[in-house]
Structure 1
Amino acid sequence: MDFSKFLDDNFDVKDWVNGAFKTVQKEAPGKVDSHAATLVMKLQLFIQEVNNAIEETSHQALLNMPRALRDVEALKQEASFLKEQMILVKEDIRKFEQDTAQSMQVLVEIDEVKSRMQAAAEALQEADKWSTLSADIEETLKSQDIEIISAKLTSMQNSLAMLVDTPDYSEKCVHLEALKNRLEAMASPQIVSAFNSQSVDQARLFVKVFVQVDRMPQLLTYYYKCHKGQLVSAWQELCQSDLSLDHQLTEFYDTLLATWHSQLQWTSQLKEQHLVNLASEQIQITSPINHRLHQRPGVRVTLVRDVAARGSVCAKASGHRGILSTAGKYLSESYSPRSLTGIQETSFSDKKTSIKNPWQEHNYLLKGNLSEYASLMEMLYTLKEKGTGNSNLLSEPRVALTRLNQQAHQLAFDSVFLRIKQQLSQVARLETWNTGTMGETLTEDLPTFSLAPLEYISNIGQYIMSLPLHLEPFLTQEDPALELALHSGKLPYPPEQGDELPELDNMADYWLGSIARATMHTYCESILQIPELTPHATKQLATDIDYLSNVMDALGLQPSRSLQQIVTLLKAKPEEFRQAAKSVPRRLTSVITSMRNIHY
């Protein structure tokens, strides 16, 4: 019998009874009474079991009630005890806050002192790190590993940021910049090779290195100059052709546009926004040319007008400098005790004005001895009218000072040039020129961008790149005597005839140009003393000259004509040598022919 229906909430006695007798009435209608007796007996037994279970459960509940009451009482007591303890703890905390407020302030101050001591310790560690890196950097430079050197320079740069307040901070900055210049000079051949060969991996390396050492503008300059040389060569070839001017400009514009597209695609692979921007700027240059090429009659006029407009902007920008220069000249001539006109009497027109010459306020000679004053005025008048060129006034001191100044210039020049001269004195005796290398016959027709400059020319390039930093402190200080001495002295190896002379306005450029021309002249003389050159040595020497030319170009200087002519003869193939030698002096041609064993 299923007793689970008695547990239903909607239990109905009539339905249950009818359901129980429904099956019996169908199967055995005569056994209904016996079936009813069986059901009654089962229900009675089930009721008895339920009563027993209820009685047993009630008995257990009665037995457990005292224990539950005791547990509740104990829990109540523990809750009361916990409440009292919490009150005591709260009171202790309040009392602790009152008693330890001053102590906490002391702890805060101690923590600040600790932080400052930690910062001081880090600064001392950085200072010690600078000393260690400075001692190791020379050995690192000898390794020629660009990545390791840039990492060392980056560490030195970070250390230098912690040493801003030290007395020798400026000297350390100059030293670090000199090291960066040496790194740049060391990497310049590889940079030019990477840009010329469009090597993505090498370019990424140099971008990473130059970003770390804060020299990204210099890398962009190398990138610009590499493509500038290629475009200039393309333009020169077009100028030598028989095409008309508008066709030449059209072809050159197509070359520019093709270069821009290729460089934009190449720089996008580097994921370096600086180079991408530089390549994008090329289209801003080519767009105006494209517009002008459709105006054939006015091509030249439009280009000239643009150049003139840019020139006027430069003139306006330099206007303030001209005003200051004029004012300084007026003050110097009017109020300088070294000016002869400063102590002369003013003219009648000057007396009408309220401006007085301070050198005439206290003329003791005029008040004390009129004859000597008249003699002085006569001599000053003669000097003013006839000039000081033929005057014997202080002639011997002037000659002596001029000679001493010239000797000082020559001594300073010889001291600066000594290191370069020592390196160049070894060029003619190098074994590289007449010693064949293994596999030379296999590499004779291969391109030369894989060749690296030799150590002697790398040392010279690094030394010349560091010269501007050494010259700048002597020119930035305001010292009229030094400025006058620099302008009065003459340096050897002046600019060649026909060269532009912007360096005369800047004494640093003047000195740098003189040293550069001395280097190129001595280098040419040393090259002409080489007895013999193998084919591989010829390419190596041309690579060394190209490296020196790149250094000069980076400093804004032009290679000498002799150096350009020598590298032209070195790069010329034997069958093309006669054509290349037509525009070269006979002396250079004969010497290079003898060195290379060429018969033409």
Structure 2
Amino acid sequence: QVLVEIDRVKSRMQLAAESLQEADKWSTLSADIEETLKTQDVSVISAKLTSMQSSLAMLVDTPDYSEKCVHLEALKNRLEAMASPQIVAAFNAQSVDQAKMFVKVFTEIDRMPQLLAYYYKCHKVQLVAVWQDLCQSDFSLNRQLTELYDTLLGTWHSQLQWATQVFKNPHEVVTVLLIQTLAALVPSIPVCLSTAMERVGQETKLSKLLELYEATVHFAKGLEIAMLPNLKEQNLVKVTELVEAVYSPYKPFQLEYGELEEENLLVEMSAVPLEHWEVIDCVQELNHSVNKLFMLASGAIDNCIKLTDGLGVCGLLKALRALFTKYTSDFTNALQSIRKKCKLDDIPSDALFQEDWTAFQNSIRIITTCGELLRQCGDFEQQLANRILSTAGKYLSDSYSPCSLSGFQDASSTEKRSAVKNPWQEYNYLLKENPSEYASLMETLYTLKEKGTSNHNLLSSSRSALSRLNQLAHHLAFDSVFLRIKQQLLLIPKMEGWNSSGTGETLTDDLPNFSLTPLEYISNIGQYIMSLPLHLEPFVTQEDSALELALHAGKLPFPPEQGDELPELDNTADYWLGSVARATMQTYCEAVLQIPELSAHATKQLATDMDYLINVMDALGLQPSRTLQNIVALLKAKPEEFWQAAKGVPRRTASAVAAMRGLER
């Protein structure tokens, strides 16, 4: 116990002796330092200051320790001030030996950050001057940026080579130099970008931005390639800062990419005229517009990938929907215009029957265009899904889903964790700036990954809108065929001669009295329907995948009645023929039921007319409608047998025919 105590006392005495020695040493050095400073010899002064620093470390517990610290810092400041012209000269002259000497000195006196500040300042001044000269030149901003980036990339390579001989951590030093330079530029790159964007019109804003961004990406790629071989040895925090400094000027524009793209697409689409004075020109423009539409849409995907590296997908989808909405609206207006030009909504009151198949042929061309739209839309959606997943898929982490994302992670999760991340590939402006949009993006990516790129609804609303266009085109074609028939049929109730008491003209000029051959109105209709297969032949003979697709997707009015045999659905031409025939029969029956009164002779005539139409249907292999057959049966029934024949016939039909024939119960 006594020995331990003696040992402890001995240690304290030794420590006290050392402290006294150091205090004495400090006093001696303090006294000498002024003389040493007069020598202006940086190395000698540094050595003295280092010794003083060592002494001071032993005097922590002395009462005037803090005063000594202040004194030492003041001496270091004097050394730094004395050396600064030489430091600047050494860095400007790129003198390796001088610089190494200063690194040694400043390391010894714990002033390395200050030395680096001189280094950064020397080069920053030169680089900022280069930028200011560029800004005052007549060069475009794109050229100014390219020149600046070339200078910075050159600086990276030359300074890295030099710094490797001088500094312990050359990569970090040169990385910080670039970070500081980019921050020191006046005018700053963000200001230059904003000014440039304000000066261009809306229609060229996005293309201008992409042009400028391309120069920046080229620079970033150059830096990335330069850094990759030594990435493991670098300070990744600083590299990440540099990545941010390079790309951040574009952040405001990337965040509003969707709006920029939408505006761009709508301006471009407005330049595609779909309406023309001549119908044939209009039809042709509609056809040409399909490729233009999908070229714009594909271009938008390219823009999204170039400017946002896939992070702007939500904005892209919104812009694409806006594009398709505008297009379908313009297309619909063009169809309305064609309807007007073809007078499909005007029913003339004259009885003149004219055949004109031009409108129908034009309508078929439009239906083919709709088929092409549907086909290209399907292809485009697939392309869109694939490109979204292949570009933005990297942002979808394993943790987002139970299984790993095949195709985007070659390494296993363990390898991935241990691998060095490349900050140039990790840049993600959206995650911090707009978390909700980022969440939507993740959801979209996850859905694409889980369901597969061919099973998705990225543009389902647009696809539906294009299907509606196809439907409108079908109605246009149908109306262009059926209009002639409808014109004739609507005149039936107003025709004179249905009742025996009627005076004036009879049903037709060349038939003063009713004959029991079909009247002209129905024979015209019959012949017209009989000629339909000839005009529908292109449906059968023409091998056009777009037309086929549109015809299968479209629906015609007047579908077959339930219970009818439907062989026609296998054949498009038969389907169309059936639809026109059913429309004719239904409209005919409705027109007949509006005849106010029938004489006995007129009853026979009407039965003959309707029989003729039934024969036409039979000849075409079509089924006469039940209503048509019922009316004919009731017209042929003797007055006394009428109500017996009316059993099983709908009451409305039976009552109307009875009223026409004047047969009351």
The structure with the largest alpha-carbon Rg is 1
TM-score clears 0.5: no
TM-score, normalised via structure 1 length: 0.36
TM-score, normalised via structure 2 length: 0.32
